[in-house]
Amino acid sequence: MRHALQDDPGLTAAVGFNAPVTEGILRGLRDEGLECPRDVSLVGFTDAPWMSFYPPPITVVGQPVAAMGELAARLVLDLLDGTPVTADLHVVPSTLLHRESVAPPHPRR
């Protein structure tokens, strides 16, 4: 986080691509004396149980892991059965779980 803030001192938002990275961003912000969301907004990608209890509760893009697993299993079973599987794009909708880690950009930044 320190390097990102050095590269862009006006940084107003960050995205953590998984739970450990999201937690690392929060720790990095605190190490730099910044608060989420007052100074920098944060969105996590994939929900973890602790994210709704963390101060502040983290806004996340919820991934439908069960639906993705079912789709993958169905495609593998089709392959094993000899059913032709195309390289089509399969879209599994995600959801935005808006919590308290996102705010309008701070005027100073």
Please state whether the predicted TM-score (pTM) of the whole model is above 0.85: no
Give the tens place of pLDDT for each residue, 28-72: 999 999 999 999 999 999 888 888 888 899 999 988 888 989 999
Reading the block at residue 74, the tokens are: 């169905």
Asked if 1 and 29 count as a contact pair (C-beta separation under 8 A), the reply is yes
* Residue keyed to tokens 């509760």: 57
Question: What CATH class is the domain 2-63+93-97?
Answer: alpha beta
| Residues of the chain above pLDDT 90, percent | 51
- Residues near 43 by beta carbon (within 8 Å), at least 6 away in sequence: 13, 14, 15, 16, 58, 59, 60, 61, 101, 102
Return the domain boundaries, the chain: 2-63+93-97
